[in-house]
């Protein structure tokens, strides 16, 4: 999901570019801070401090905290995709789960935000709705290919299996919030092995 900075047309283009640059700086900094420190309380003050502005100034660039958090989640996805050297689909799901372990703050942010954004009026609703649809579509294509090649079970439609993979991933991630011994990547791999069984 892309966001734009609304600037009155009377302002010079340079000022718009500067505002867009500052907005991007806030997103990048917030992503780094939230990855290690989480997103509650002092994290926003820390973001503002690192960017060199007052905390209230952050919200000249975003409608509110939730819009900033959504922008951070989108940046997390972008970084994750850029860092992956594996094909999209099932392998990417496992690699993403492994990467999430190294970013506990962002992983917690994702899990909490996804559970609270079901209201269509919520700032992150569109992001999660689109993200779930895209992940299911990508997994469906991968599973259909594997079914055609005889590498995956065919007793269920590929889209149903894709939804189960997402459900397992998010369900394990939710359990991880309460018990850091839960290994999401390992559990997901085990489920995919069952999925691959003819």
CATH of the domain at 90: 1.10.357
Please tell me whether residues 110 and 142 are part of one structural domain.
Answer: yes
Q: Sort 34 into a burial class: Cβ within 10 Å, 0-12 / 13-18 / 19+.
A: buried
- Predicted pLDDT at 70: 87
Domain presence at residue 78:
no
51 vs 54: CA distance, rounded Å: 9
**Tokens coding 172:** 């394990």
Domain presence at residue 175:
yes
Q: Output the pTM of the full model.
A: 0.77
Please tell me whether residues 50 and 119 are part of one structural domain.
Answer: no
- The CATH number of whichever domain residue 4 belongs to comes to 1.10.10.60
Please tell me whether residues 50 and 104 are part of one structural domain.
Answer: no
Mean pLDDT for 117-127 is 88
Task: Indicate the number of domains in the chain.
Answer: 2
**Tokens coding 115:** 């559970």
Domain presence at residue 119:
yes
Whether 191 shows a pLDDT value over 90: the answer reads: yes
Whether 5 shows a pLDDT value over 80: the answer reads: no
Degrees (nearest 5) of the Cα angle 114, 119, 120? Answer: 110
């Amino acid at each position: 999901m892309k966001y734009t900075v609304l600037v009155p047309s009377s302002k010079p283009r340079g000022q718009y570019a500067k505002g867009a640059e500052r907005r991007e700086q806030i997103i990048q900094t917030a992503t780094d801070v939230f990855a290690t420190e989480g997103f509650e309380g002092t994290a926003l003050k820390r973001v503002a401090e690192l960017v060199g502005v007052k905390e209230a100034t952050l919200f000249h660039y975003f409608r509110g905290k939730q819009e900033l958090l959504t922008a951070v989640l989108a940046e997390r996805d972008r970084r994750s995709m850029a860092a992956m050297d594996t094909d999209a689909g099932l392998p990417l799901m496992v690699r993403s789960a492994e990467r999430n372990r190294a970013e506990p703050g962002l992983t917690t942010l994702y899990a909490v935000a996804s559970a609270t954004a079901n209201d269509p009026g919520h700032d992150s609703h569109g992001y999660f709705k689109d993200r779930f649809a895209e992940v299911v579509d990508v997994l469906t294509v991968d599973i259909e290919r594997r079914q055609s090649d005889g590498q995956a079970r065919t007793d269920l439609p590929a889209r149903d299996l894709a939804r189960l993979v997402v459900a397992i991933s998010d369900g394990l991630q939710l359990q991880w919030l309460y018990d850091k011994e839960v290994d999401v990547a390992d559990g997901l791999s085990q489920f995919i092995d069952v999925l691959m069984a003819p």
